[in-house]
Amino acid sequence: MTSVAAEESTGTAPRRARGRWGDRLLFGYTWLIIVWLCLPIAVMIAFGFNDTKGRLNLTWQGFTVKWYGRLFSVPDLTTALVNSLTIALVATAVSAVLGTLIGLALGRYRFRGQGALNLVQFAAISAPETVMGASLLSFFVQLNVGRGYWTIVIAHIMFSLSFVAVTVRSRVLTLDPAIDEAARDLGATGWTAFRLVTLPMIFPAVLAGGLLAFALSIDDFIITSFNSGSTLTFPLWIWGAQKNGLPPQVNVMGTLIFVAGVLLAVGNALLARRRR
């Protein structure tokens, strides 16, 4: 009784009650956001199993897995998906290499123009896609370069590069320079020290930046639409076909891309935890 009276007199009990209600509201709000984000993905996955009888895949008509067996039965859609995958892979590979080098330079060294380079990186991330797409279009027009597959690749490298560089730079800033110096003192060359010491420590960041670059590339619509010419990517094909109805194969392909992304993200998280 004495402790209860003391809590009431000091106001501890009301604060605890408010804290519990705050925790419950935060818990409920968190799950509301999770459901809100996952609901469209769940609908996409579900309608990949819809036994639709026509081209419109908007109402549930029964369960089937036949669309997974007919995944590549729409030639134009298959071509668009292949274009998106190859463009994303090339853009990711180039962005990962160049972005890692830029991230290392920004995180480890001090040089003239470093502030300007940092500003350019963050400007590229924060710039609206419409502005970047129009700017790249003007750039290609000035060079008299025909728009098509390779202009899309270059455009995707341009906007993905900054995301990789910023991710790697954040990791490099946490490293102890003495580790690399110790490797050099033991006789390792600069390349050997980087390959055996620095790279394993920053690899999770490189992989995370690469996954982000891949996701941005394969999903991009606005910048691609400015610089695609006659080349169709997966998002552009969906935009053009949605007026007449999207086939279930779109849902199946979206599901497979989503599952692959989740598996890669989980693998990266496990790899990062294992290296700690």
Same domain, 37 and 73: no
Chain-centroid distance, C-alpha 163: 9
Reduced to 3 states (helix: H, G, I; strand: E, B; else coil), residue 1 is: coil
Q: Would residue 60 count as lying in a domain?
A: no
Q: Tell me the pTM.
A: 0.81
* CA distances for 123 relative to 128, 131, 141, 153, angstroms: 10, 11, 23, 20
Same domain, 241 and 143: yes
Q: Would residue 53 count as lying in a domain?
A: no
Worst-scoring range by mean pLDDT, 182-186, 228-232, 252-256?
182-186
Tell me the mean pLDDT in the region 173-185.
83
Residue 71 has pLDDT above 60, yes or no: yes
User: What mean pLDDT is reported for the chain?
Assistant: 86
Q: Would residue 61 count as lying in a domain?
A: no
Same domain, 149 and 264: yes
Confidence tier at 186 by pLDDT (50, 70, 90):
confident
Q: Mean pLDDT: which of 43-47, 119-123, 265-269 is highest? A: 43-47
Q: Would residue 55 count as lying in a domain?
A: no
Q: Would residue 193 count as lying in a domain?
A: yes
Same domain, 105 and 17: no
Confidence tier at 220 by pLDDT (50, 70, 90):
very high
Q: Would residue 52 count as lying in a domain?
A: no
Structure tokens that stand for 89 in this block:
């892979």
Structure tokens that stand for 266 in this block:
């989980």
Same domain, 162 and 31: no
Same domain, 29 and 83: no
Same domain, 32 and 146: no
Confidence tier at 14 by pLDDT (50, 70, 90):
low
Same domain, 78 and 40: no
Q: Report pLDDT for 19.
A: 66
CATH number, domain containing residue 193: 1.10.3720.10
Q: Which amino acid is at 265?
A: A
Q: Report pLDDT for 166.
A: 93
Q: Report pLDDT for 234.
A: 92
Provide the phi-psi class of 187: left if phi over 0, else alpha when psi is between -120 and 50, else beta. left
Q: Report pLDDT for 178.
A: 82
Total number of domains constituting the chain? 2
Tell me the mean pLDDT in the region 221-245.
89
Domain ranges, residue 21: 2-47
Q: Would residue 93 count as lying in a domain?
A: yes
**Residue with tokens 């080349």, as numbered in its chain:** 231
